[in-house]
Copies of this chain bind each other. A is one copy, B any other.
């Protein structure tokens, strides 16, 4: 584990996207979006995935120079065709469009097809905050999750992010997978050689298991709730809603047809739509009540929850967004920690594009 300055890692990543053929502004935006995951402590979704994007680009599944366009719209809605672009640039395009519509008619809702992995959901929803808007962001993803009672992998970890501005308090930023545990948490357990708690995964027959490798032998991840007694049908519902809003509404591939992120898995030969789907939304606060009133009450809401009495084992009640913001502050100051395997990976990417990763690393 070594640390690298955020700006250095960003310059390197930007250079890689430029070498892939991304236009200057898009290379810049893609690296900012990708690295927002590393900053916020969601290491599974950051620069560790750069190689994955490159492999998809090499296979022609990602288009570095997409012609992103609006295919249908009304004053408050649109469907955007990402032209196989990086979700890292397609989603911000869609979010800007949602905010423009919110400026005009109060809210804006954009469903996106023909896109790819868009990094962390929270980056896109948070774009709304500085405009005194509430931001929404969802995406469907590689099918790894079984609905309650099923043994088939029909849904992704399908995250939902909603960002809500406050005044003196930092914003409320929800960003969560609709499964009990995100995939990254399973990877952490694997590395430590530990077992998973019951309720995270099931085996190929749909039996509860603590085997972190269950997915390799036909098992699946479990929806939030974990089992029927703990309302896993509600996690299944949430994942389904994300899938339908992101992909059925836009004309992307939904359910088991969602294209996998890993390039070694083939695309299905019977697609039901184009690429991966996202759903972005923006709601102008003052389309409901004066923004200052709302934000003052959000401060009160946040302070009430934050100062509420805690259980013996815990020292505070967490407001959604607190942990990620705190990690982000640390990492801006002290750099981004990279595992040796990620450093090795980035060096090889550097070699491939004739960029000296070591140079950035030393800066």
Copies of this subunit: 2
Which has the most chain B C-beta neighbours within 10 Å: A229, A273, A284, A298?
A: A229
Tell me if A256 counts as interface (CB < 8 A to partner B).
Answer: yes
Tell me if A107 counts as interface (CB < 8 A to partner B).
Answer: yes
Interface residues of A in 146-197 (CB under 8 A from B): 147-152, 154, 162, 164, 172, 174, 176, 178, 180-181, 197
A-side interface residues, number (CB < 8 Å) = 81
Known: A205-B311, A311-B207. A255 touches B105 (CB 8 A): no
Tell me if A317 counts as interface (CB < 8 A to partner B).
Answer: yes
Tell me if A288 counts as interface (CB < 8 A to partner B).
Answer: yes
Interface residues of A in 234-272 (CB under 8 A from B): 234-235, 237-238, 240-241, 243-244, 248-251, 254-256, 272
Contact indicator A151/B77 (Cβ below 8 Å): no
Q: Which residues of B contact A301 (CB under 8 A)?
A: 243-244, 248, 254-255
Known: A74-B287, A162-B241, A289-B249. A305 touches B109 (CB 8 A): no
5 A/B residue pairs, CB under 8 Å, sorted by A? A72-B288, A76-B107, A176-B231, A178-B234, A248-B294
User: Measuring CB to CB, which residues of chain A are less than 8 angstroms from any residue of chain B?
Assistant: 72, 74-77, 79, 104-107, 109, 111, 147-152, 154, 162, 164, 172, 174, 176, 178, 180-181, 197, 199, 202, 205-207, 224-226, 229-231, 233-235, 237-238, 240-241, 243-244, 248-251, 254-256, 272-273, 283-285, 287-289, 293-294, 297-298, 300-301, 304-305, 308-312, 314, 316-318, 320
